[in-house]
């Protein structure tokens, strides 16, 4: 499986490290990054897993 944090930009890696939650698709890509204040997780789950 590809490590998306290592293959992305430094800014993307910093965002992943600072995230409260990360939704990773079965193919290893990051589908959603949450900072604790966002409510978009249900939308991301619907988009990628239904």
pLDDT digits over 32-42, tens only? Answer: 888 776 678 88
pLDDT digits over 1-50, tens only? Answer: 344 444 555 666 777 788 888 888 889 888 888 877 667 888 888 888 88
Nearest to 33 by CA among 12, 47, 49: 12
Q: Residue 49 is encoded by which pair of tokens?
A: 């897993």
d(CA 1, CA 24): 11
Nearest to 4 by CA among 31, 26, 30: 30
d(CA 45, CA 7): 23
pLDDT at 2: 44
φ, ψ of residue 3 to 5 degrees: the values are: -85, 100
Tell me the pTM: 0.56
């Amino acid at each position: 499986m590809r490590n998306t944090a290592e293959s992305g930009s430094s800014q993307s890696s910093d965002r992943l490290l600072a995230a409260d939650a990360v939704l990773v698709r079965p193919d290893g890509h990051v589908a959603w990054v949450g900072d604790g204040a966002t409510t978009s997780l249900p939308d991301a789950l619907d988009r990628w897993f239904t």
